[in-house]
Structure 1
Amino acid sequence: IDKQGANLLTTIHNKLVNTHTEDLKHWWKIFHAAKEDWTVPSDNWEGTNWGLFTGDDESMKIMVSRIAENMQRLKIETLMWPE
């Protein structure tokens, strides 16, 4: 979590964290097998852009800016958005 300079930042769908935690292990196994240097942000880790799905442009921009801020803060250039 919050690994500075990792190669990859990934976000997580909140249902995986709250109710489908078993589904997360598949991502982690793939990252491990690929020897990927990755991290998840501790704040604003939610990857589902509900603003996009609901047509709320302002909420969509807020969501995207949070992810961009995490990438800048952690000095990461690559995003995996598995939504």
Structure 2
Amino acid sequence: MSSLRIVVKIPTGTYPELLADLGTVATRARAERLRVLAMIGLRDLRHGPSRGHASSNLQDPTQEGAADRKKSANTIIRKLTQGL
């Protein structure tokens, strides 16, 4: 399996929403968060934005919401990697 090493510098004023989101994630988890966001973006480019349960949980600040988001993200990643 091949891999790429990518170093990303995000200027403070360029993508404030992305920086705010990544600021809430543990330092070691940020690369995975970027991978998930990239895969979601690719899916949306190919198939259009998703609607329904997974997107409604993105705004849920509770611990239960975090578990639901993680489960949804894992499901999305599994489905996307199957399509590659």
Q: Higher strand fraction: Structure 1 or Structure 2?
A: 1
Which has the bigger relative contact order, CA under 8 A and spacing at least 6? 1
> In proportion to residue count, which structure has more helix?
2
TM-score, normalised on structure 2?
0.35
Q: TM-score, normalised by structure 1?
A: 0.35
